[in-house]
Amino acid sequence: MRIGQQGTLTNVWAPKGSRPTAVKQTEYDWVYIFGAVNPVNGKSSAVITPTVNTDYMNHHLRFISEEAGKDVHVVLVLDQAGWHIAKQLVVPKNISLLHLPAYSPELNPIERLWAYMKSHYLSNRIYKNYEEIFNAGTVAWNNITSEMFCSICNTEWTKHEN
């Protein structure tokens, strides 16, 4: 997920007869969140970075692997972003990557989380600088409880029987 700076007023959807506005920044600065959620138990991990690339993805995979433990196998659902399919990607032995079909964000459970975070914590705000954007991303992620992770990221197709 990308969080950034943008600074003018913009129109928003509202009840008929009203014309509310919301803040829209016009400067661009970004932070990115690499996130993973287990929708069964609510465990999660995230790395906030200044850009997206294979090196950061490798760092995130190592972190997920270490947090899960060597005796737990993780199936990580991903889209086909370049850093998810790069030849230089180093996938730990206890992780299997499940790439979704191209252009199918509706199948990716984490996309629901990005939408929730944007609508509840990140949209319609002015960020003064990079540090404030970084902190907003951190606060947004940390405000999501395990129960919320389970609820938001839960889908029928990811359930398994054991």
The values of phi and psi at residue 66, to 5°, are -65, -45
pTM of the model: 0.82
Rounded to an integer, what is the distance from CA 18 to the centroid of its chain? 33
What digits encode the pLDDT tens for the residues 128-144?
889 999 999 999 999 99
The answer to whether 78 touches 61, Cβ cutoff 8 Å, is no
How far apart are the two ends of the chain, measured CA to CA in Å?
32
Q: Tell me what the mean pLDDT of segment 92-109 comes to.
A: 94
Q: Which band of pLDDT confidence, cut at 50, 70 and 90, is reported for residue 15?
A: confident
Number of other residues whose CB lies within 10 A of the CB of residue 23 = 13
Map out the domains of the chain with their CATH numbers. 2-136 (3.30.420)
